[in-house]
């Protein structure tokens, strides 16, 4: 299920996006990020294309939903 980035934005340290960009060369646009929630995980994809292709190179991070939300 797709969830809004604004729903979890405060739980993700900003440096995650900076480091991802520096390591991969991909520039992260916050308005293009796709967040997926399912199977107890939250995955943050670079954009819709990365999500559709399930491209692991453009998966920014993958967290346990309970850990991320502090449950």
pLDDT digits over 59-68, tens only? Answer: 999 999 999 8
Q: How many angstroms separate the Cα of 39 from the Cα of each of 9, 34, 58, 66? A: 20, 16, 20, 11
Tens digit of each residue's pLDDT (9 = 90 or more) over 12-56? 999 999 999 999 999 999 999 999 999 999 999 999 999 999 999
pLDDT at 71 exceeding the cut of 80? no
Residue in the structure block whose two tokens are 């939903």: 65
pLDDT at site 69: 84
State the pTM of this model.
0.92
Report the chain's terminal Cα–Cα distance, integer Å: 19
In DSSP notation, 6-53 reads: HHHGGGS-THHHHHHHHHH-PPP-TTT-EEEEETTEEEEESSHHHHHH
* Cα gap 68→71, rounded to integer Å: 8
pLDDT at 70 exceeding the cut of 90? no
In the chain, where the domains are located: 2-69
């Amino acid at each position: 299920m797709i969830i809004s980035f604004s729903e979890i934005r405060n739980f993700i340290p900003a440096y995650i996006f900076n480091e991802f960009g520096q390591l991969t060369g991909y520039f992260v646009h916050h308005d293009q990020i796709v967040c997926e929630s399912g199977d107890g995980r939250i995955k943050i994809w670079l954009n819709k294309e990365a999500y559709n292709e399930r491209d692991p190179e453009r998966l920014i991070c993958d967290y346990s939903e309970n850990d991320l939300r502090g449950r």
